[in-house]
Amino acid sequence: MRFTLITLFLIVFFSCKQSPNIGANQQLLSDIPKKEDVGHLNLPDSIAVINAPFNMPVFKKPVFPDATTHLKKLFNDSKNELKTNIIQHAIDSLSEAHGGTVIIPKGEWLTGRISLKSNTNLHFEDGAILKFSTDVKDYQPAVFNRVESLEVMSLGACIYAFNQENIAITGNGKLIGPYNGEIKARSYMQPIETLVDLTKPPHERIHNGLEEDWIFPPKFIAPTNCKNVYIEGIQLENTAFWNIVPTYCDNVIIRGVYVNSYGIPRGDGIDVESSKNVLIEYCTLNTGDDCFTMKSGRGEDGLKVNKATENVIVRYCLAQKGHGGITCGSETAGTIKNLYVHDCVFEGTVVGIRFKTRRPRGGGGEHLYYNRLRMNLEATCIKWDMLGTPAYVGELAERLPKREVNNLTPFYRDISISNIIIENGTHFLKVYGIPESPLTNLNIKNVDANCKNLVILNDAKHVDISNVSIKTSDSVISVLGSNHIAFKDSHFNLNGATLKKPESVLFENCKVE
């Protein structure tokens, strides 16, 4: 018996020595959420504690005074009569009287632009539907705004706020945007740099729809330079532009929101613009552009403002259709830093984790963390596009020659991606960096991926990919202008093909079959 046990021990010992742990750690991946576990249908009542790789404030639901204005008695039954003045007067009056809640009643109502004021909660009853006018005049006069990260005076947003504190939009109502009529017909189509005179100060860049035959269409919800913003439970459809866009804000909570802008160009879901201390959780986005997006200013205009998007948590969210599940950029002038995305599902999105910038955008992104994600994608799983296209940046989209580094040279660095399940995708990883500013310090570990293609690495350095298992019909790892690239403890299931290993890439303890 003793001999048998010793022999068995030696067999197991040497077997373990000869067959080290190669590929994704299935135990760590086993409880990554599925699509039915996340999104707006799973919203809990309370806000759970945040555990992030950086310091975050404690997020709490806002408290408003008991005063309430229910608008049922003030609305008549006409669906075609604007209720703008009634809603706005109720908000203004409550705010002036130290705050409270304005209730939009059950029914279908029409309005123009609404401006939230401090200490007020705009609450929607179950069955309340608020439709926003398609006439440009109902969003005038122009207000201070950021359009594609450039400061202008424009139509602003369907629900707008400026320099306010402690504001909220809550309830289970549906908001229907103005993406038709005059708003759609006059929406701009050119690159924004060709339309805005950046030699003027922002308050003189007036685009109010009066002098021009085009407009910058209103966003859906855009609190600007506000503190303590809370948005919960609402549904948004038919936006004319980006949906929820906190800009220059501090302490923002967005919970349990459903957005449907699929098929609408520039129909981003949630864009965090140069804001800090942001929590986004249990949201479902089905969009015509990027889903969850971080931005921080564009080029010289963004550098002058120099406000980062920082300290942002995105968790328990579902991205459905959209160009990117979670995106940084392409406007990065103030930098994007301290972003933690975890326990999210991207189901049917084009790209999973997406990074964009351009040579003339400035700033960049750093200290970005992605953990416990599940992806079922139409295209690339993890992608950097730092060059753009000639249509927007001309010859700067060409990789070579290297340009001199200046204040408009953006960067991406110090990025961690771990514990990922990729059910379907094309390329596992694509990096199109900038030769004079390569992607730097990327760590990817513990991934189980089913992809059509492997890896393209252009202009990256210090990339460490470990403990990944990739099933693919591809056998090519393409490397250009990159160095210090390593695959460690990884498994490549190529269905018998031979992995083409670039000489510049280190393969350590990897298995190919």
* Alpha carbons within 13 A on the beta-carbon side of 383: 24
Q: What is the pLDDT of residues 228-285, one digit of tens each?
A: 999 999 999 999 999 999 999 999 999 999 999 999 999 999 999 999 999 999 999 9
Lay out the sheet containing 219-224: strands in order across: 114-115, 157-162, 219-224
Contact (Cβ atoms closer than 8 angstroms) between residue 291 and residue 324: yes
Per-residue pLDDT of the chain in tens (513 residues, 90 and over written 9): 443 444 333 333 333 333 456 899 898 899 999 999 999 999 999 999 999 999 999 999 999 999 999 999 999 877 789 999 999 999 999 999 999 999 999 999 999 999 999 999 999 999 999 999 999 999 999 999 999 999 999 999 999 999 999 999 999 999 999 999 999 999 999 999 899 999 999 999 999 999 999 999 999 999 999 999 999 999 999 999 999 999 999 999 999 999 999 999 999 999 999 999 999 999 999 999 999 999 999 999 999 999 999 999 999 999 999 999 999 999 999 999 999 999 999 999 999 999 999 999 999 999 999 999 999 999 999 999 999 999 889 999 999 999 999 999 999 999 999 999 999 999 999 999 999 999 999 999 999 999 999 999 999 999 999 999 999 999 999 999 999 999 999 999 999 899 999 999 999 999 999
Distance CA 256, CA 252 (A): 14
* CA-wise closest residue to 249 among 218, 291, 278, 270: 278
Query: Within 13 Å of residue 95, how many CA atoms lie on the same side as its CB?
Result: 20
CA 477, CA 490: separation in Å to the nearest integer?
14
Q: Give the E-state strand segments of 81-193 in sequence order.
A: 100-104, 107-111, 114-115, 120-124, 128-132, 143-147, 150-154, 157-162, 165-171, 174-176
C-alpha pair distances (Å), 446 with each of 25, 384, 422, 470: 6, 20, 11, 11
Report which residue type is found at 90. Answer: A
Phi, psi of 482 (to 5 degrees): -125, 155
- With the CA atoms of 440, 449, 350 and 298 taken in that order, what torsion angle do they form, in degrees rounded to the nearest 10? -10
Tokens at residue 458, please?
A: 């252009």
CB within 8 A of 323, min separation 6: which ones? Answer: 287, 289, 290, 291, 349, 350, 351, 354
Sign of the dihedral through C-alpha 76, 79, 82, 86: positive
- How far is C-alpha 505 from the chain's CA centre? 32
Q: Tokens for 76, please give them.
A: 């008549």
d(CA 84, CA 132): 9
Read off the pLDDT of residues 451-502 as tens digits, 9 standing for 90 and up. 999 999 999 999 999 999 999 999 999 999 999 999 999 999 999 899 999 9
Three-state DSSP class for residue 300: helix
How far does CA 105 lie from the centroid of its chain?
A: 32
| Dihedral (Cα; 12, 14, 18, 19), 10-degree rounding | 10
CATH number (2.160.20.10, 2.30.140.10, 1.20.1250.20, 3.40.190.10) of 28-512 reads 2.160.20.10
358-387 b/e (C-beta count within 10 Å ≥ 16 → b) = bbbbbbbbbbbbbbbbbbbbebbbbbbbbb
Burial of 121 (C-beta count, 10 Å sphere; 0-12/13-18/19+)? buried
**What is the rounded CA–CA span in Å between residue 130 and residue 112?**
10
Q: How many CB atoms lie within 10 A of CB 495?
A: 9
Radius of gyration of the chain (CA): 25
